[in-house]
Amino acid sequence: MAGSSHGHTPAAWTGVIIAIIGFCVAGAFMVMANPLGFWAGMVITVLGGVVGAIMRSMGLGQSKPAQPVQVVAKPEAAREPAGAES
């Protein structure tokens, strides 16, 4: 998608950075065999997604493109002839 700015928003950057910090914390505590610290890191990781979603709802994320309206015509077989009467 050339020309797209997918993910280049403050909401995306903030959410991803917080999630990376959470993964690093969880990984460090996993190596140290500390389950409480590991789960604290997982909470930080989920918090990154929550913060990103809140920031997007505040208008700091990428707006969704407008969906085009599709007009569906009747098939030719289903149309009545112009001069026919019922």
Output the six-digit token pair for 70.
């599709």
- Could you tell me the residue ranges of all domains in the chain? 10-59
Instruction: List, as one string, the DSSP characters of 7-50.
Output: T-SHHHHHHHHHHHHHHHHHHHHHHTT-HHHHHHHHHHHHHHHH
Q: What was the pLDDT predicted at 8?
A: 84
Query: For 10-47, how does the pLDDT look when each residue is reduced to its tens digit (9 = 90+)?
Result: 989 999 999 999 999 999 999 999 999 999 999 999 99
**Global pTM value:** 0.67
Residue 3 confidence (pLDDT) above 60: no
Measured N-to-C along each axis, helices 35-55 and 10-31 cross at an angle, to the nearest 10 degrees, of: 180
Nearest in space to 45 (alpha carbons), one of 66, 23, 77 = 23
Percent of the chain with pLDDT over 70: 72
